[in-house]
Structure formats: structure tokens, C-alpha cells
Amino acid sequence: MNEEISPTPNRRDFLKTTAIVAGITVAPGVLLYGVSQAKSPDDQTITAKKRWGMLIDTNKCVQGCNECVNACITEHGISENVRPDITSQWIRKVGLRDKQTGKEYSLPLFCQHCEHPPCVDVCPTGASFKRVDGIVLVDKHICIGCRYCMMACPYKARSFVHETLKNQKPHSPRGKGTVEACTFCVHRIDKGQSPACVAACQKSGHKAMLFGDIKDPNSEISKKLSHVSSTALRPDMRLNPGIRYQGL
């Protein structure tokens, strides 16, 4: 029996041709889109494949050294002088003393960028939020200044701005009536740089702060975390902070 030749293309051929044509039409667009996306780190969106964290070696942190605190103040322009006793503190140096042995510790304390942040749980407006890469921030556009988050934070990491501010830094908007805290220098991280406090600690030669992606097993911080013993502050609360301390 002779095969009948159809005058119109059959279904299979039609689908094949369509797929090829569609491929030719769409592929360059997709490729170009990919190329344009890879152009600069600025236009890449953040991803949950990363989680930024820090390891602080309390043995290397020098008592009386305030490099990290000063770097933070310079970077974010935290220098209101109206009422110095209530000036914002994004990072502070804390001294601890073991009563049994007399051993003294000195360590920087700031927003611990928890995996389960209590400040986010209590915020009535949704201003307090966690970025997908683990950085906990305040969206000051919708913060009403109620300060529930300040009460909820077990690390006392947040501050309230009481005075009208002037001459803020372009990369660090701050204003009266909102709550603020360490942003992990998110503007620097988005550019591929490390936070100002870490850079200052490196520069001073103490190298007590190590910053990096704790979800990447090949990053310096992950490798170190896997073989030194470190602890979170108040691990009993199971907040899983992004900041861990070594030698406490």
C-alpha cells in the first residue's frame, strides 16, 4: 500500500517546525538577558542561596580597641551631638569577666542577624524584616517608631532616633522617629565589599572579625566554623544568629 502524501504538513512536522522557530526567536533574547544580567553586581537581586554571617574571635579582640565602633560611626555618620547619652549605638564593645577565674573578655556586640528574629515577629507594620540572604533590616519608610522591636531584641541591638538629623550619608538614610540597627553595611555587601567594622578590624591588624557566606561550604568562614568551636550568644533561645563568637 502506497504511503499517502498529505498536502498539508502533519501534526508532528508542524510541532517540530514551531519548536525550532520558537527556539531561534527566543534563544538570543534569553542569552542577551543573561548577558545583561551578569553585567554588574549592582543589578543582581539577592538570593537565598547565601547567608551572610560573621565569626568573631574573642581571643584576638583587644580590650580598649574601638576600631570597629569608630568605623561604624564614620561609615554611617552616627554623630548627633544634641543628647550624647541617647545617641544610636549600632555596635558597642562589651566587656565580660568570669567570676570564677577572673578571665576578662572583650567583644563587639551588634545586631546578630538571627535566622528567627524576634524583632521581625513583633513588628506591627512589617517594617522590620529579614532579607532572603539573612540580613535583618528596618524599612524606615514604613516604621512607625513604636519600638516593640527594641523590647523584643534580647541583644539590645536596636536604637531609636530621638532628634532631627542633618547631613546623613547618601548610602545610609537615617531619620527621627524610626528604629535603626546594624545593617551589616548592606550597601557595601551589595557591591561585594565586607562591612566597615570588619575592614577596620583587618586594617588595625587584629583580624578578630571574619565575614562571609556561611551557606557556601568553600568560603573562608565556613571552613573555619567547621573546625573551631564557636558559640552563638544566648543559644538557649534558638534564634540561630548569623554572628558567632569563638573563645567565649
> Which residues of the shown chain bind other proteins in the complex (CB under 8 A)?
38, 40-46, 50, 71, 74-75, 129, 131, 133, 137, 139-141, 164-165, 167-171, 173-176, 178, 186-194, 196, 198-200, 202-203, 211-213, 216, 219-220
Q: Closest CB to other proteins among 109 and 189?
A: 189
Three-class SS of residue 110?
strand
Whole-number minimum distance, CB 7 to other proteins, in Å? 51
The CA–CA distances, whole Å, from 160 to 157, 171, 175, 205, 215 equal 10, 19, 9, 33, 32
Q: CB 38 → other proteins: shortest distance, Å? A: 8
Residue 39 or 99 with smaller CB distance to other proteins: 39
Q: How far is the CB of 119 from other proteins (least distance, A)?
A: 16
- Are 198 and 211 contacting, i.e. CB atoms less than 8 angstroms apart? yes
Whichever of 34 and 102 has its CB closer to other proteins, that residue is: 34
What minimum distance in Å lies between the beta carbon of 41 and other proteins? 4
Could you tell me which residues come within 8 angstroms of residue 52 by beta carbon, excluding any fewer than 6 positions away? 113, 133, 134, 135, 184, 189, 211, 212, 213, 214, 242
The DSSP symbol for 45 reads P
| Residue placing its CB nearer to other proteins in the complex, 27 or 38 | 38
Please give the DSSP secondary-structure letter assigned to residue 105.
E
Which is closer to other proteins, CB of 42 or CB of 236?
42
Q: Could you say which DSSP state residue 225 is in? A: H
The alpha carbon torsion through 34, 37, 38, 42 (nearest 10 deg) reads -170
Q: Smallest gap, in angstroms, from Cβ of residue 92 to other proteins? A: 18
